[in-house]
Amino acid sequence: MKKFLSIFLIAVITMVVITGCTNNGNTVEPSSNDKDDFDTSKTINVVTREEGSGTRGAFIEIVGILKKDSSGKEIDRTYSEAIVQNGTNAVMTTVAGDKYGIGYISLGSLNDTVKAIKVNGVEPTAENILEGSYEVARPFNLAYKGDLSPLAKDFLDFILSSEGQDIVAKEGYVQVDTQASNYESNGTEEGTLVIAGSTSVSPLMEKLVEAYQELNSGVSIEVQSTGSSAGMQSAIEGTADIGMASRELKDSELAELTPVVIALDGIAVIVNNDNPVEDLSIDDIKSIYIGETTNWSEIK
């Protein structure tokens, strides 16, 4: 009897091992695909940036959300039910945690927590931005009032040098000069700068500042992420030496400031990783962001 029980137990254990493992020894997990569970009848949860954001300003202009009324005044038609987030990371976090969300961010800030979709069939890549086939793109501008100080000029020269433009490319943005000359210091070895503005430009600026300070250890540069409009105002008022804007400057700003484009950036339209949508037209995006298209089932 004991011998029979032993044989029976061995047989049961053998069957469990065979059932629970593949031939290569890996445990078989139940297959699942969250994208198959995507409910297209659900509401599109629109995520946008705050007013004054350079990313928002560029996005609404390029996509056609910004429209002039009969008096010529520009009207931002962003959907009134949109979730407003202050900063790129907040937009990504919101969309990453919402299966039915959609947002837009600087391409250089994109990571694998969300999915960037094609726009009019074109992927948001540096190559496509440079050749002009990806339409949702904008400049990264620095702006200053009057004459640059020797330190500010040296830092700007560094950004536009081959060393600075290599950092631009490394961080996922598009160089404005692929044939730039090597950096040569003007001899400024110490001093302080305040650079304020766009939260989209700030991550790139911090990398540029870090590299510049390694070459010029006596220099201190403070980067303040305050938003494009606030950065331009700070440069105008003199509370910042240089302002950062992730858009073209407005006429009122151009009257006071001198802009310099340091990089080009795509604006990536992002959805949750479990969203099966891979491509949207400009018209689709506009319709979503002005509140005409409100359900995922309306996307063809």
DSSP 217-242: TEEEEEEEE--HHHHHHHHHHTSSSE
How many CB atoms within 10 Å of residue 65?
Answer: 20
| Strand ranges in 163-230 using DSSP code E only, listed in sequence order | 190-197, 218-225
- pLDDT at 63 (0 to 100): 96
pLDDT at residue 288 above 80?
Answer: yes
Which of 222, 214, 208 minimizes the C-alpha distance to 155? 208
- Which pTM does this prediction carry? 0.68
| Residue 34 or residue 216, greater confidence | 216
User: In whole angstroms, what is the distance from residue 90 CA to residue 53 CA?
Assistant: 13
Mean predicted lDDT score pLDDT of the chain: 89
Q: Which domains can be identified in the chain, with CATH numbers?
A: 42-138+268-298 (3.40.190.10), 139-265 (3.40.190)
d(CA 160, CA 20): 59
Q: Would the pLDDT of 250 be above 80?
A: yes
Please tell me whether residue 126 adopts helix, strand or coil conformation.
Answer: helix
Burial of 206 (0-12, 13-18, 19+ CB in 10 A): middle
Burial of 68 (0-12, 13-18, 19+ CB in 10 A): exposed
The 10s digit of each residue's pLDDT in 118-147 is 999 999 998 899 888 999 998 999 999 999
In the predicted structure, residue 15 carries a pLDDT above the cut 70: no
Q: Which residues on adjacent β-strands are paired with residue 73? A: none
According to DSSP, the residues that pair with 242 across neighbouring strands are 195
